[in-house]
Amino acid sequence: MATGLHGSARTTPRVRAEPQASQETTRSLATRYGLDPKTIAKWRHRTTTADQQMGPSRPRSSVLTEAEEAIIVEFRRRTLLPLDDVLGYLRETIPKLSRSALHRCLVRHGISRLPQGEEKTSQRKRFAETRIGYVHIDVCELRLAQGKLFMFLAIDRVSKFAHVAFLDANTKADGAAFLSEVVEVFPYRIHTVLTDNSLPRT
């Protein structure tokens, strides 16, 4: 039996190929193979004997919105945190987010597995000379159908403790307010804050 066939398939690649090469009429071939003439006509018009992909051409979540998926993807790419950590940090922003919905989202976008280098080499080892409290703050812009959304992210290089906020604008006031949140939320004293050019200076 041929492998890789659709579960409801009534023909094999060999049976599909023969009508494509035959000069017989569609009705004659349908009688010979015991198939509907429409099935014979379908395969005669195709250039391959493989089943076409079933389901939507662009898979999407039935639980998450496009904006929520964009948030999840960008957060994962920026932090490279394990699935359960991502779930913990984003559950407040996306209350309906479940572990299974998160996993499916990461699989759809090809980031369900962390790079091998991240699994084998801890960031703690890279920054062994840095003590806890060294925080990197980054801001990235998410372009969505509904407009722009800015992700403010603070993550400690050593502990990987993180704080994230999603705002409609990236202003000096927003940057200052986020930094105040970070100082309040982090469970230990921050001694160094590193930013890039995307965070407005206050």
The backbone torsions φ and ψ at residue 13, rounded to the nearest 5 degrees and listed phi first, read: -55, -35
Determine the Cα–Cα distance for residues 61 and 163; give it in Å rounded to an integer.
25
Return the beta strands (E) in 52-161 as ranges.
Answer: 134-144, 147-156
Determine the Cα–Cα distance for residues 106 and 90; give it in Å rounded to an integer.
14
**Roughly how many angstroms between the first and final C-alpha of the chain, as a whole number?**
69
Pick from 181, 87, 190, 82: nearest CA to 136: 190
**Using alpha carbons only, how large is the chain's radius of gyration in Å?**
26
Which pLDDT does position 16 carry in this prediction?
75
Tokens 């403010």 found at = 152
Q: Residue 100: which pLDDT band, with cuts at 50, 70 and 90?
A: very high
- Amino acid identity of residue 178, one-letter, is F
The backbone torsions φ and ψ at residue 132, rounded to the nearest 5 degrees and listed phi first, read: -60, 140
Given the DSSP bridges, would you call strands 192-195 and 162-167 parallel, antiparallel or unpaired? unpaired
Determine the Cα–Cα distance for residues 38 and 26; give it in Å rounded to an integer.
8
pLDDT in tens, 26-69: 888 888 778 888 888 887 777 776 655 554 445 565 689 888 99
DSSP-assigned beta bridge partners for residue 155: 136, 162
DSSP-assigned beta bridge partners for residue 195: 137
- Which residues, in sequence order, are CB contacts of 38 under 8 Å at separation 6+? none
- Looking at per-residue confidence, does 88 or 26 come out higher? 88
Q: Are 10 and 33 in contact (CB under 8 A)?
A: no
Q: Assign residue 99 a region (left: φ > 0; alpha: ψ between -120 and 50; beta: otherwise).
A: alpha
Least-confidence region, from 114-118, 131-135, 151-155, 165-169: 114-118
- Whether this prediction's pTM lies above 0.75 is answered by no
